Structure 1
Amino acid sequence: MRSAGAVFEQRACDELQRAGLILITRNYTTRHGELDLIMRHGDTTVFVEVRHRLRATHGDAANSVTASKQAKLIRAAELWLAAHPQQAQRPCRFDVVSYDGPADDARMTWWRGAFEAL
C-alpha cells in the first residue's frame, strides 16, 4: 500500500512542480502523522496531502480528508513550522491533491486552500 501511495505522491509532486511550485521536502513525519509534500508557491508554504481512491464506494479521494485528518495535518504543520522558524513568517495553506480511479487513468483534482487552520 505504501508503494502505491508513493507513486501518487510522486505524480502529484511532478504535476505541482509543472504548475510552478517548488518542493521543500516530502514525507515529513511527526507523532501526529505525516505531511506528504511541503512545497513553496510564490511566497506561500504549501502543505500538500495526496489521496487516491480506486472506487468511490465511500466517497471520492478528497472526501477522505476528514476533519480529524485535517486536525492531524495542522498539528504536523505546526511542528514543521516550529522546527523551521525562518518559514513560520510566510503565509501557509493546505492543499489536497486527489486521484480517483484506476492508477493508469486516475483523474487528478487539485484543491488549493482545501481547508484552513483555525
Structure 2
Amino acid sequence: MNNREGSPGNTGADRRETGQHMEGVAARYLQKQGIGIIDQNVFSRGGEIDLVGRDGDTIVFFEVRYRSRGSLVGAAESISWRKQQRMLRAASYYIHRHQLWNYNCRIDVIAVAPGVTARYNIRWIKNAIQA
C-alpha cells in the first residue's frame, strides 16, 4: 500500500492530491450520468462542498468520499454527524450566496473504492444527507 491509499504515513499533501483526483473521477462519472457540473471545491464559512451539479431542475451538492482497499469503514459510512452538519451549513450558505432559493436542492454522496473488475467501484447515494 502506498501513501496515497491511506497508510499511516499519509501526509496532508498526499490526501489533498488523492481527494482532487477522486473528485475528478466522480465529476466524470456524474457527467456520464447526465449531471452538469456547476462548481467544484467550493470553500465558505459554512464548510467545503466537493462538487455542485445540476440534475434537471435540482441543484445537487456532492460529497466525494474515497476509502482504499482494507479500510475498516466504507467511504459513505465515514461521514460523521459533524461532517453532515458542516455540509448542510455549506449548502445553505451556497444557496443564499447564489440566490438559489427557488430551486430544489439535495445533498448526495459519491463513494469511491478500488474496484475488482473496473478501476473504481463508484456508489451514488442520492439524498444521503437531509436537513
Asked if Structure 1 and Structure 2 have the same fold, meaning a TM-score greater than 0.5 normalized by the shorter chain, the answer is yes
Question: Which residue type is aligned with residue 64 of structure 1?
Answer: S
Q: Would you say the 8 A contact 2:67–2:112 is kept in 1?
A: yes
1: CA distance, partners of 2:77 / 2:38: 26
The DSSP-based 3-state class of the residue aligned with 1:77 is helix
Alpha carbons of structure 1 residues 56 and 96: separation in structure 2 relative to 1, 3 Å? farther
For the 8 Å contact 2:112–2:122, the answer to whether it is kept is: yes
Unaligned runs of 5+ in 1: none
CA distance in 1, matches of 2:72, 2:45: 27
Partner residue, 1:61: 75
RMSD of the TM alignment (CA)? Answer: 1.5
CA distance in 1, matches of 2:59, 2:104: 6
The TM-score with structure 2 as length reference comes to 0.82
C-alpha distance after superposition, 1:32-83 (max 9, x if no partner): 3210000000000000000000135431000111211111000001111111
Runs of 4+ in 1 over 4 A off after TM superposition: none
TM-score between both structures, scaled by the size of structure 1: 0.90
Matched, 1:93 2:111: no
Percent identity reads: 36
